[in-house]
C-alpha cells in the first residue's frame, strides 16, 4: 500500500500542464507538417517552375523529404524544451538536435547531387553539346562522396570528437594506406584522366587492345563495356588510361575497301571498261560518299589482274554499312558478267616435256624387268 501511495503521489505531482502544452505544441507542428506537404510545398513548386532555370526546382525536390522529416523532429524538440528537463540532459538533447539538422542538410545536398540534377545537365551541355555522357554520373558520385564525408566530419565535431587528431592519424597512416590501395588509387586517377580528356562518352563504340564494344558506365574504379557478344566487360580505368583507344562512333563516314582479281585472258579494252563502269557506278550511288573514290588497276599478281576499290559509305551504322557493302559487291559482279570478264582464282600452270625415244625405251625396259622380278618373287 505504501508503494501504491508513493506512486499515486508521484503521478499527481507530475507537471501535467507542461506535459499538455508540450503535447499541443507537438500536435500543432504535426498538423503544420501535413499542411506543408499538401499545400505549401505545392505552392512553392508552382512558383519555382516559373523561374528561368530548373536548379531551384530541383533543389526544392531534393529537400522535400529531408524538410518533412525535420518538421517532425522540430515538433518533438520544441515539445521536449517545454518540459522540466535537467540542464545536463538538455545539453545532450541540443547536441542531438544540431546533429540531426546537419544530417538533414547533408541528406538534401546528397539528393541534389544526383546525375539528373540540372546543374550537371548544364555542365554536360556546355562541355559536350548536351549529349549524354559518363561525365555526369562520375561527377555526381564524386560530389556525393564528398557530401557524405563532410557530413560525417561535421557531426563528429559536434559531438566533440577530435577531428585534428583524426586528420593527424590519417597523415601518419597515409603512406601505408597509399601502398595498400595503390591499384585502387591508380584506377581512380585513371578514371579522372578518362573523364577530363573525354576520349569517349556513354554509348560510344570503342576498341582497345583489351576490349571492344559499347560503353555503358564509368565508375571510380572501372569502365563497363558491352561487347558485341552481349557480354559485359569491366575494365580497370588504369588499364584504359594507358591504352590506345579507337572511338569508332566518331566516324563521319565508313570505309569499304577490297580487291577484285580478274583473269589474265581479259583484254585491255575490257579492263578499262570494267574500271570505268565500277567508278561511275560508285559516283552515282546515293549511299556512297563522293569525296574520295578510288577504282584502279592496282597490280598484276601471280594469277590475276587486281582491281583495287577504295570508297566510303555515308552511313556509319554497322548493319546499314553491311547492306551497302553487299549492294556494291553485287553491282561489281553484275558489271563483270555484262562485260564477260571472269574472276580469277589462284592457279598454277605446269608444262611437261616429251622424253627422247631412247630414254623412254630404257624406262619401259626397266619397268618390264621390275614386273618380272615381282612375279618370280610371288
What integer pLDDT is reported at residue 352 of this predicted model? 59
What integer pLDDT is reported at residue 92 of this predicted model? 79
Q: Do domains 187-248 and 251-378 have the same CATH topology?
A: no
Q: Which residue has the higher pLDDT, 196 or 129?
A: 196
Residue 310's pLDDT band (cuts 50, 70, 90): very high
Nearest CA among 345, 336, 199, 195 for reference residue 273: 336
What integer pLDDT is reported at residue 51 of this predicted model? 64
Nearest CA among 69, 94, 100, 98 for reference residue 80: 94
What integer pLDDT is reported at residue 324 of this predicted model? 94
Q: Which residue has the higher pLDDT, 125 or 138?
A: 138
Helices (H), 242-317: 268-284
Most confident of 70-84, 112-126, 263-277, 333-347: 263-277
Residue 220 pLDDT more than 60? yes
Listed range (133-137, 160-164, 172-176) with the worst mean pLDDT: 172-176
- List the domain boundaries for the chain: 15-161, 187-248, 251-378
Cell numbers placing 339: 562485260
Cell numbers placing 105: 542538410
Residue 126 pLDDT more than 50? no
Q: Which residue has the higher pLDDT, 155 or 188?
A: 155
How many other β-carbons are positioned within 10 Å of the β-carbon of residue 227?
12
| Spatial separation of the C-alpha atoms in residues 204 and 202, rounded to whole Å | 6
Burial 244-259 (b: 16+ CB within 10 A, else e): ebeeeeeeebbebeee
Residue 128 pLDDT more than 50? no
| Spatial separation of the C-alpha atoms in residues 361 and 341, rounded to whole Å | 46
Residue 374's pLDDT band (cuts 50, 70, 90): low
What integer pLDDT is reported at residue 131 of this predicted model? 43
Helices (H), 258-317: 268-284
> What confidence tens digit (pLDDT) does each residue in 67-86 have?
888 877 877 777 777 676 66
Helices (H), the chain: 2-12, 16-35, 41-48, 55-62, 64-81, 87-112, 118-128, 135-158, 163-180, 182-197, 237-241, 268-284, 318-338, 357-377
- Cβ contacts of residue 358 below 8 Å, gap of 6+? none
| Percent of the chain residues past pLDDT 90, beyond the cut | 21
Side by side, the strands of the sheet bearing 288-300 are: 254-262, 305-313, 288-300
Residue 202 pLDDT more than 70? yes
Most confident of 87-101, 215-229, 266-280: 266-280
Cell numbers placing 134: 559518363
Q: What is the 3-state secondary structure (H, E, C) of 121-170?
A: HHHHHHHHCCCCCCHHHHHHHHHHHHHHHHHHHHHHHHCCCCHHHHHHHH
Contact assessment for residue 274 and residue 300, using Cβ atoms and an 8 Å cutoff: no
Cell numbers placing 334: 553484275
| Spatial separation of the C-alpha atoms in residues 50 and 45, rounded to whole Å | 9
Output 30-33 pairs: Cβ under 8 A, ≥24 positions apart: 30/72, 30/75, 32/71, 33/68, 33/71, 33/72, 33/75
| Spatial separation of the C-alpha atoms in residues 258 and 203, rounded to whole Å | 30
Residue 121's pLDDT band (cuts 50, 70, 90): low
**What values do phi and psi take at 329, rounded to 5?**
-60, -45
> What confidence tens digit (pLDDT) does each residue in 147-157 have?
888 888 888 87
> What confidence tens digit (pLDDT) does each residue in 5-39 have?
454 444 455 555 666 666 777 777 777 777 766 66
The three-point CA angle 151-157-160 to 5° equals: 150
Contact assessment for residue 329 and residue 278, using Cβ atoms and an 8 Å cutoff: no
Distances, alpha carbon 288 to alpha carbons 251, 258, 315, 320, 327, in Å:
15, 15, 9, 12, 11
How much is the pTM?
Answer: 0.47
CATH fold of 187-248 reads: SH3 type barrels. (2.30.30)
> What's the CATH architecture for 251-378?
2-Layer Sandwich (3.30)
Contact assessment for residue 221 and residue 187, using Cβ atoms and an 8 Å cutoff: yes
Amino acid at each position: 500500500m505504501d508503494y501504491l501511495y508513493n506512486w499515486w503521489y508521484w503521478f499527481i505531482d507530475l507537471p501535467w500542464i507542461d506535459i499538455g502544452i508540450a503535447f499541443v505544441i507537438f500536435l500543432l507542428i504535426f498538423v503544420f507538417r501535413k499542411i506543408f506537404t499538401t499545400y505549401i510545398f505545392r505552392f512553392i513548386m508552382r512558383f519555382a517552375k516559373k523561374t528561368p532555370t530548373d536548379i531551384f526546382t530541383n533543389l526544392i525536390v531534393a529537400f522535400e523529404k529531408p524538410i518533412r522529416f525535420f518538421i517532425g523532429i522540430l515538433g518533438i524538440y520544441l515539445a521536449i524544451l517545454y518540459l522540466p528537463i535537467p540542464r545536463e540532459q538538455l545539453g545532450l538533447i541540443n547536441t542531438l538536435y544540431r546533429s540531426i539538422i546537419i544530417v538533414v542538410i547533408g541528406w538534401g545536398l546528397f539528393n541534389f547531387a544526383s546525375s539528373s540534377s540540372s546543374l550537371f545537365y548544364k555542365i554536360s551541355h556546355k562541355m559536350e553539346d548536351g549529349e549524354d555522357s559518363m561525365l555526369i554520373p562520375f561527377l555526381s558520385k564524386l560530389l556525393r562522396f564528398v557530401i557524405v564525408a563532410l557530413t560525417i566530419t561535421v557531426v563528429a565535431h559536434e559531438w566533440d570528437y577530435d577531428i585534428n587528431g583524426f586528420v593527424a592519424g590519417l597523415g601518419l597512416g597515409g603512406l601505408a594506406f597509399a601502398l595498400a590501395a595503390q591499384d585502387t588509387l591508380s584506377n581512380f586517377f585513371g578514371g579522372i584522366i578518362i573523364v577530363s580528356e573525354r576520349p569517349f562518352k556513354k554509348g560510344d563504340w570503342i576498341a582497345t587492345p583489351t576490349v571492344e564494344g559499347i560503353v555503358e558506365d564509368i565508375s571510380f574504379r572501372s569502365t563497363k563495356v558491352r561487347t558485341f557478344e552481349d557480354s559485359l566487360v569491366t575494365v580497370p580505368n588504369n588499364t584504359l588510361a594507358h591504352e590506345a583507344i579507337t572511338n569508332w562512333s566518331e566516324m563521319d563516314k565508313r570505309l569499304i575497301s577490297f580487291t577484285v582479281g580478274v583473269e589474265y585472258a581479259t583484254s585491255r579494252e575490257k579492263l578499262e571498261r570494267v574500271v570505268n563502269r565500277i567508278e561511275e557506278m560508285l559516283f552515282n550511288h546515293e549511299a556512297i560518299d563522293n569525296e574520295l573514290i578510288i577504282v584502279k588497276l592496282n597490280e598484276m599478281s601471280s594469277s590475276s589482274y587486281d582491281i583495287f576499290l577504295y570508297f566510303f559509305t555515308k552511313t556509319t551504322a554497322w548493319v546499314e554499312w553491311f547492306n551497302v557493302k553487299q549492294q556494291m559487291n553485287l553491282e561489281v559482279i553484275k558489271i563483270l558478267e555484262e562485260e564477260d570478264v571472269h574472276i580469277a582464282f589462284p592457279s598454277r600452270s605446269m608444262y611437261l616435256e616429251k622424253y627422247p625415244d631412247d630414254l623412254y625405251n630404257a624406262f619401259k625396259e626397266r619397268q618390264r624387268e621390275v614386273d618380272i622380278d615381282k612375279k618370280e618373287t610371288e
